[in-house]
Amino acid sequence: MNHLGIERLKTGSGSCELQMTVRAEHLNFNGTVHGGAIFSLADSAFGLASNSHGILSAGIDAHMTYQAAALKGEVLTATASEVSRSRKIAVYRIEVTNQAGEIVAGFTGTVYRTGKPNYKVAED
């Protein structure tokens, strides 16, 4: 995710934490962060967390709510955690916060767990 400036802080079993400093190219016409940039940050954390168990998982549903605007220069952190996991389905919650710890957005995603090995699991 180099083109978006997303950095991985940590990845664990069913969890992930990513960070992005808001740049000019992340802004919308109102001068605040475009929702798509925030969604990309959360979705990236979702993908890493859901594939951390070594089983290839594919997103089948995602929902995002936006609670606050973010501005250029702010540091956004996406923290993903596993809500539930069965043999075929898993649900993850991702919270996006700014550097003051205020919630900017919330993301909930569901994956289908294929049962196939995931050999490209990213590690810290």
Question: For position 12, which CATH number holds?
Answer: 3.10.129.10
The answer to whether position 124 is within a domain reads no
Q: Is the pLDDT score of 2 beyond 80? A: no
Which residue range forms the structural domain that includes residue 33?
Answer: 2-117
Q: Let me know if residue 67 belongs to a domain.
A: yes
- 64 lies in a domain? yes
Looking at residue 24, its pLDDT comes to 97
Structural domains in the chain (count) = 1
Whether the per-residue pLDDT at 87 is higher than 50: the answer is yes
Q: Is residue 61 part of a domain?
A: yes
Mean pLDDT of the chain: 95
Confidence of residue 1 (pLDDT cuts 50, 70, 90): low
Assess if residue 9 is contained within a domain. yes
Classify residue 113: in a domain, yes or no.
yes
Residue 122 within any structural domain of the chain:
no
Whether residue 122 has pLDDT greater than 80 = no
Going by pLDDT thresholds of 50, 70 and 90, the confidence category of residue 124 is very low
Cα distances (Å, whole numbers) of residue 85 to 45, 55, 58, 62: 16, 12, 13, 16
Quick check: is 110 in a domain?
yes
Q: Are 18 and 44 in contact (CB under 8 A)?
A: yes
